[in-house]
Amino acid sequence: MRAAPREQTESAAAGGAHPVEAQRVHAGYAEARDVVRDVTLHVAASELVAVLGPNGAGKSTLLKLLAGAMTPTSGAVRLFGTALGDLERRAVAQRLAVVHQTEEIAFSFSVREIVRMGRAPHQGAWMRPSDEDEAIVEDVLARCDLRDLAHRPASALSGGEHKRVSIARALAQKPEVLLLDEPAAFLDVGHALGLYDLLAEVTAKDRIACLVVMHDLNLAAQYASRVVLMKKGAVVASGSIDEVMTYASLRETYDTDLYAGLNELTGTRFFLPMRASIRKPT
């Protein structure tokens, strides 16, 4: 497919630095050296980019590279045009926030205290919250529908509430770049939709560059501005929903037959798994 090289052209031709970008990045581990292979992508402000692919495609490793938690063996990851390796961790945390698939939340802290931790990169040596910090925390609690839970300990939260608290803490950082690894994992349909409604809202209103690693093709089709398909560490295709989420590209990515249809109510694509004996391109 030609979509991956087109991503490289778009990135190079864009005027000004992207909030976050990877240029021909390679990375791996001691036991598997080619987990990410020659990946180039970028995320623009107000854009929600979904990274999709089968297990072992390198999606979570790519997120670690973009977050600065892992160093590429070659290529470059940049935050607003500056290589991540040239920035202090505090400077990165003031502009970039990460929500992992599973996060350890200290049970002794209340929801408000956990969200307030997101202000740490902006505070002085004594870590004393300012009036501005408290105002930001209050705003985030309201936007994430957590005001009624503000004094509740983390130990008393449901799975969906935990996810919202993790996102609220990230939003309290006032990031310009937000990276999330399967934020809707283990959530039911209603909570997953509510979570992505929130992400879509803050991405647009706060002009955040948002990249989400995910597995749900239907959620990606409803909420993503662009989609990146990965397989065996490389980008298979990158572009808009209509360009990328087709029978042929998904078949190539997942080695699985999927029916790609159109939801007449919303105008968005939807996908259904098919038995291996059935192949019906659309």
Burial track 175-200 (b if 16+ CB lie within 10 A, e otherwise):
bbbbbbbbbbeebeeebbebbbebbb
Q: Are residues 164 and 115 in the same domain?
A: yes
Rounded to an integer, what distance in angstroms lies between the CA atom of residue 18 and that of residue 38? 19
Q: How far is residue 237's CA from residue 229's CA, in Å, rounded to a whole number?
A: 5
pLDDT tens-digit readout, 195-234: 999 999 999 999 999 999 999 999 999 999 999 999 999 9
Amino acid at 238: S
For residues 88 and 185, state if they share a domain.
Answer: yes
Is 169 in the same domain as 180? no
Contacts with 196 (C-beta within 8 Å, 6 or more apart), sequence order? 184, 219, 222, 223
pTM comes to 0.89
Position 259 in a domain? no
Instruction: Note down the domain range covering 154.
Output: 104-174
The mean pLDDT value of the chain amounts to 89
Integer Cα distance of 28 and 35 in angstroms:
5
pLDDT per position as a tens digit, 144-190 = 999 999 999 988 888 888 889 999 999 999 999 999 999 998 888 99
Judgement on whether residues 115 and 143 belong to the same structural domain of the protein = yes
Q: List CB contacts of 252: < 8 A, sequence separation 6 or more.
A: 1, 231, 236, 237
52, β-bridge pairs: 229
Residues 240, 119, single domain; the answer is no
* Tens-place pLDDT, residues 66-100: 999 999 999 999 999 999 999 999 999 999 999 99
